């Protein structure tokens, strides 16, 4: 069961599941996760039974988009909340992954304040450790939520942070897609301030 769980943790990493919305192969990634989900659920169950909090949060954090787009939000929330509730257990990296994953789920449930708190906690970790991929993902997520909760004063900073992180990485199809997606937030911010020409330009 340890080997089984390790295999599926490696699988979601290899598929880059946490980047699914920006991957050209994103729909195929989600299809494969749907097929393998009984195995993934078994892996999560085993990790909880043996209190392997790091791997549970690491696996659960990778599934953020699967749970949002194809799976059961409440199930994802339950796994991640259990892992994050185990104070003092699990690595800091795993906790950040779990925080980011749970933040995305709570945002979809309109629990924006809690989602923002979790996202900012994860973002602090990624900044400290120079994880450009996750700085870009978490800052993009924070930009979206700051607009939702009326904190447009924060949105531009998050957009710029995400853009800078993406610009520092080697070129790849998902990076170009993610960079283009930031224009959506720039347009929304311009609309929020009544600047229709800038919104149209973005």
Q: What is the pLDDT of residues 115-144, one digit of tens each?
A: 999 999 999 999 999 999 999 999 999 998
Contact yes or no for 138/100 (Cβ under 8 A): yes
pTM for the whole structure: 0.91
Q: Tokens for 67, please give them.
A: 């749970």
Q: How far apart are CA 56 and CA 44, in angstroms?
A: 6
Q: Where are the beta strands (DSSP E) in 50-119?
A: none
In the predicted model, is pLDDT for residue 34 greater than 90?
yes
Annotate 17-29 with DSSP letters as a single string: GGGGGGSTTHHHH
Q: How confident is the model at residue 27 (pLDDT cuts 50, 70, 90)?
A: very high
Q: How confident is the model at residue 87 (pLDDT cuts 50, 70, 90)?
A: confident
Higher pLDDT, residue 185 or 80: 80
Residue 56 CB coordination number (10 Å): 29
pLDDT at 70: 83
Q: Tokens for 187, please give them.
A: 């347009």
In the predicted model, is pLDDT for residue 147 greater than 90?
no
Q: Kind and range of the H or E element at 87?
A: none
Q: Tokens for 29, please give them.
A: 């990634």
Per DSSP, the three-state class of 133 is: helix
In the predicted model, is pLDDT for residue 159 greater than 90?
yes
Which phi and psi angles does 93 have, rounded to 5°? -65, -40
Residue 82 CB coordination number (10 Å): 16
Q: Specify the long-range contacts of residues 95-98, CB closer than 8 Å, at least 24 apart.
A: 95/57, 95/125, 96/61, 96/121, 96/122, 96/125, 96/126, 96/134, 97/57, 97/58, 97/60, 97/61, 97/62, 97/122, 98/57, 98/60, 98/61
Q: How far apart are CA 37 and CA 63, in angstroms?
A: 10
């Amino acid at each position: 069961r340890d080997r089984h769980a390790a295999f599926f943790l490696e699988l979601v990493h290899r598929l880059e599941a946490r980047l699914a919305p920006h991957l050209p192969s994103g729909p195929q990634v989600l299809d494969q996760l749907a097929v393998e989900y009984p195995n993934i659920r078994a892996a999560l169950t085993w990790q909880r039974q043996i209190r392997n909090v790091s791997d549970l949060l690491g696996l659960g954090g990778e599934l953020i988009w699967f749970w949002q787009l194809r799976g059961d939000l409440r199930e994802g929330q339950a796994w991640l909340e259990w892992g994050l509730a185990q104070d003092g257990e699990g690595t800091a990296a795993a906790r950040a992954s779990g925080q980011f994953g749970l933040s995305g789920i709570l945002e979809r449930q309109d629990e924006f304040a809690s989602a923002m708190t979790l996202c900012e906690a994860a973002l602090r970790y990624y900044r400290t450790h120079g994880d450009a991929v996750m700085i870009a993902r978490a800052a993009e997520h924070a930009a979206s939520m700051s607009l939702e909760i009326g904190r447009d004063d924060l949105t531009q900073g998050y957009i710029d942070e995400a853009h800078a992180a993406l610009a520092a990485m080697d070129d790849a199809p998902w990076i170009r897609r993610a960079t283009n997606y930031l224009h959506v937030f720039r347009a929304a911010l311009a609309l929020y301030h009544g600047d229709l020409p800038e919104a149209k330009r973005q």
